[in-house]
Amino acid sequence: MKSAPIKTSVQQVSDIIGDWGLWQLNIVVFSISIQLFLAFHTLAVSFYAPTIDYKCTDNDITSTTTTTTSANNETNDYYCLNGCKNWTFDRSVFKSTIIDEWQLVCDRQGLASLSQSLFMLGFALGAVIFSYLSDRFGRLPILWITVILEILAGLSSGLAMNVTQFNISRVILGMVSNGNYLTTFMMVNECVAPKYRSTFSVCIQMGWTAGYCLLPGIAYLLPDFRQLILATTIPQIVWLVWLYWIPESPRWLIAHQKWDRLELVVKQAVHMNSLPINDFDNQFESLKKSIVNNNEECVNKQLLTNDNNNNINTNNNNNKTKSSLWSVMQSPNLRRTTLIMYFTWFVNSFVYFGISLNIGDLGGNLFINFLVAGLIEFPSFIFPIVAFKYIGRRPLIGGYMLLNGLSCFAVIPCLAMTAIWPRVTIAMIGKSFITSSFSVIYVYAAEVYPTVVRQVGVGSCSVAARVGSMLAPFVKDLNIYTGMSVVLSIYGSLSIADAVAAYFLPETRGQPIADTIDEAEQLNRRHNSKVAKINDKNKCDYKLHVITDNKV
């Protein structure tokens, strides 16, 4: 392990703990594991609520017809209209699903899609609730709460006695799983050195891809939906031990002036990274002094530029640093960026989950299609890591969405072909573009929002995404009544519209991360060369969240 040189003047935490080491690796790997199980919980609906064949076994009804039906067969309507009460389900592939367990057919057919939409509703609630709580009370306490609740909710859904209990458990599961995902994502951004931030923000999302690829194999080996859910829940108990080695975010502690806790966290990081500790006290005091001086300097500059605020009091200062979405919406440039981001996240989520959750509608083997769809995501994550060094975030988002939209339209002519592979191939290419876009917008959102509202900002974007993902499960029903060409046209049109909207986003590549609303306002101006000059001149690293009150 390399030793960092002893410094008497320290400007940031990484000057003491180093840019990279075992301490940062522990946080990154933990975040990857969070993503792994998030993929299990989110995508498993394709295997516990698949399209399966079934037929009515009521003697008085089947005396007129004995045709085997499926969810897309017109004979199914005949059975339902005649009030069939008993059904036989095809178990040649899946031993047990929520479809046959609770007979989700006829007027109950929509409950299968509803279960996934409720999960995504929980996602949205989790983004709102835990984003605020994480910014308010810290990253680590929220991780403990969400991890415990995620395990309990997973067990409850796997042991559910009826569809009502199952759906309630899924709402809670979606809420807490998104809560701990967003929290760990923020921790990685706040704990990793700036030069590695964009790289590892994308790398941790490969945990999702790993879960995507592993899920069809687990589902094939465990064709019972209860066994599948329990197998993807019980291993999470390991997190309860792992959390004892996960620290609080140093950046959050700085923003809230928790100096004693910060000292313990930094000392632990120095120890884990095998760096010299003999001059630690002097280095930490230098860091603290630098942070306070930077903060006071920025406050003085702000006071000098406000001619009408000569008598600013403590309450006014506190109001300017509140970590709320209202603070974001009061800032014109940041508000414009936020509204565009809402649309971008909505389209990304709707198209991504619309393709992923309904991959079987393209034809072919469900397990193989699912595996291929997962494997294609690895290069989709790797390319942005390389592109970040040479291409800005804005052209990447717009380019990926444009290519995805064109791919969706290109699939439509292939639907008339008897061969399945052309449509599947083009659809997978399009999916790779939407996956890359998704990875970029997460990094972009973490960069465009300031520290005091970062999790609130990213969380609100996640809410917009969950609206799209809540609609995605019903694409299967839309396909039944309108056809796949209509669905693909919707995907393509929204993607191209989003590519145009991305042009109006500010560029964050090469810009320092903002800590306050005022710094973020400068970043969100359209003239990026001017932004760089302003930020270089007035850069205030680790702006304090509360200036005059040490209480959280």
> Average per-residue pLDDT in the chain?
79
Paired strand residues for 55: 88
Cα 488–Cα 363–Cα 494 angle in degrees, nearest 5? 15
CA 262 to chain centre: 28
What's the pTM? 0.74
Q: What is the mean pLDDT of residues 29-38?
A: 94
pLDDT higher than 90, residue 127: no
pLDDT higher than 80, residue 437: yes
What's the N-to-C CA distance of the chain in angstroms?
Answer: 37
Do residues 432 and 384 touch, judged by C-beta distance below 8 A? no
Do residues 275 and 21 touch, judged by C-beta distance below 8 A? yes
Backbone angles phi, psi at 50, to 5 degrees: -80, 175
pLDDT at 159: 95
pLDDT tens for each residue of 38-60 = 999 998 988 988 878 888 877 65
The whole-angstrom separation of Cα 235 and Cα 216 is 17
Residue 393 banded pLDDT, cuts 50, 70, 90: confident
Q: What is the mean pLDDT of residues 489-506?
A: 91
The whole-angstrom separation of Cα 162 and Cα 156 is 11
pLDDT tens for each residue of 157-207 = 999 999 999 999 999 999 999 899 888 988 888 888 777 777 787 788 889
pLDDT at 450: 78
Q: What is the mean pLDDT of residues 63-81?
A: 54
Do residues 524 and 337 touch, judged by C-beta distance below 8 A? yes
What residues have CB less than 8 Å from 17, skipping those under 6 apart?
A: 4, 23, 266, 269, 270, 273, 275
pLDDT higher than 90, residue 403: yes
The whole-angstrom separation of Cα 185 and Cα 102 is 37
What residues have CB less than 8 Å from 172, skipping those under 6 apart?
A: 122, 149, 153, 156
Residue 10 banded pLDDT, cuts 50, 70, 90: low
Residue 32 banded pLDDT, cuts 50, 70, 90: very high
pLDDT higher than 90, residue 515: no
Residue 494 gets the label, from left (phi > 0), alpha (psi -120 to 50) or beta, of alpha
Do residues 428 and 493 touch, judged by C-beta distance below 8 A? no
